[in-house]
């Protein structure tokens, strides 16, 4: 088992930093390119949510924790921001709380689809926690497809 | 993100390059819209994604926004050469029903 913790400010330039750090941490598990791409996309979605929705007005801390467990990578993304009052609504594909800002409302749908396990908890006014797991087990042939 | 364009007859080809996310989309949006404004006499804009190494759901919002802008000019839109990750996201969003993959 390996673990890491990352803490960074909610600046949009840190999206590329966060997804690449998590991808680099996952490399010893021998992910296929496709699996690694799924992880990067899911992390990018979770971190973007923190920047755009949790802390819309100022720069505060975002936490990313990773833990390996056999061929699995557990990722937890946390913020202490605004929180989500209606989780079912937030998880609805194409729902966005910011219409008119060219947002697709597909962030959570992508996290749920690209990862093997997904769990969202949130307390309005206190923060949000996204827990996701990716199981690596694809073959190189999967990349060739 | 880098964007280059090529006018081929009635079609405007837009070649995107780089990582498309919430951060990079801000300047890309303005540059793309300026190119569309300058080439509004074309019939269709084709977004070539071969150089896009990374894209998250920001890409869906970006492409939908350009689709709406192009519609106001009466221009069509199509997508070309998305990589597997971009294709997965775009297929999931149903966006190809508005802008076909060619």
Going from the N-terminus, what domains does chain A have, and what CATH number goes with each? Answer: 3-144 (3.30.565.10)
Contact A102 B92 (CB under 8 A): no
Tell me, yes or no, if B2 comes closer than 8 A to chain A by beta carbon: no
Residue B90 above 80 pLDDT? yes
Phi, psi of A98 (to 5 degrees): -125, 65
Of the residues B18, B22, B94, the best mutation for testing chain A's interface (the one with the most A CB atoms within 10 Å of its CB) is B22
Predicted pLDDT of residue A139: 60
Rounded Cα distance, A83 and B84, in Å: 33
The mean pLDDT of B50-59, rounded to a whole number, is 97
Q: How far is CA A85 from CA A28, A61, A124, A127, A128, in A?
A: 38, 21, 6, 11, 10
Predicted pLDDT of residue A100: 79
Q: What is the pLDDT along chain A (145 residues), one digit of tens a residue?
A: 999 999 999 999 999 999 999 999 999 999 999 999 999 999 999 999 999 999 999 999 999 999 999 999 999 999 999 999 999 999 999 999 988 789 999 999 999 999 999 999 999 999 999 999 999 996 655 555 5
Domains with residue ranges and CATH for chain B: 2-97 (3.30.750.24)
Predicted pLDDT of residue A144: 53
Q: Which residues of B touch A45 (CB under 8 A)?
A: 56-57
> To the nearest whole angstrom, how far is the Cα of B9 from the nearest Cα of chain A?
30
Predicted pLDDT of residue A99: 83
Predicted pLDDT of residue B42: 97
* Catalytic residue set of A: 45, 49, 103
Residue B5 above 60 pLDDT? yes
Tokens 């920047």, residue?
A51
For chain B positions 30-69, those within 8 Å of chain A (CB to CB) are 54-58, 60-62, 64-65
Predicted pLDDT of residue A143: 59
Residue of B nearest to A100 (CA): B65
Q: Which residues of B touch A114 (CB under 8 A)?
A: 88
**B17-45 pLDDT tens trace:** 999 999 999 999 999 999 999 999 999 99
3-class SS letters over chain B: CEEEEEEECCEEEEEEEEEECCCCHHHHHHHHHHHHHHCCCCCEEEEEEEEEEEECCHHHHHHHHHHHHHHHCCCEEEEECCCHHHHHHHHHHCHHHCCCEC
Helix, coil or strand: residue A35: helix
Predicted pLDDT of residue A141: 52
């Amino acid at each position: 088992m390996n673990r890491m913790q990352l803490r960074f400010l909610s600046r949009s330039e840190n999206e590329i930093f966060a997804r690449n750090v998590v991808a680099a941490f996952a490399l010893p598990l021998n992910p296929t390119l496709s699996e690694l791409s799924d992880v990067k996309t899911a992390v990018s979605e979770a971190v973007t949510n923190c920047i755009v929705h949790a802390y819309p007005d100022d720069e505060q801390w975002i936490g990313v924790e990773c833990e390996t467990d056999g061929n699995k990578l557990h990722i937890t993304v946390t913020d202490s921001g605004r929180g989500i009052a209606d989780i079912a609504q937030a998880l609805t594909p194409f729902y966005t709380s910011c219409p008119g800002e060219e947002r697709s409302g597909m962030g959570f749908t992508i996290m749920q689809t690209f990862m093997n396990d997904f769990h969202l908890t949130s307390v309005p006014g206190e923060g949000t926690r996204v827990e996701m797991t990716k199981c690596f087990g694809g073959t190189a042939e999967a990349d060739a497809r | 993100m880098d964007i280059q364009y090529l006018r081929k007859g009635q079609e405007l080809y837009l070649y995107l390059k780089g990582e498309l996310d919430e951060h990079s989309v801000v300047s890309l949006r303005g540059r793309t819209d300026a190119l569309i404004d300058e080439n509004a006499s074309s019939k269709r804009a084709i977004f070539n994604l071969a150089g896009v190494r990374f894209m998250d759901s920001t890409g869906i919002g970006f492409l939908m926004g350009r689709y709406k802008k192009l519609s106001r000019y009466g221009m069509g839109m199509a997508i070309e050469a998305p990589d597997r990750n971009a294709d997965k996201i775009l297929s999931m969003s149903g966006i190809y029903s508005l802008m076909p993959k060619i």
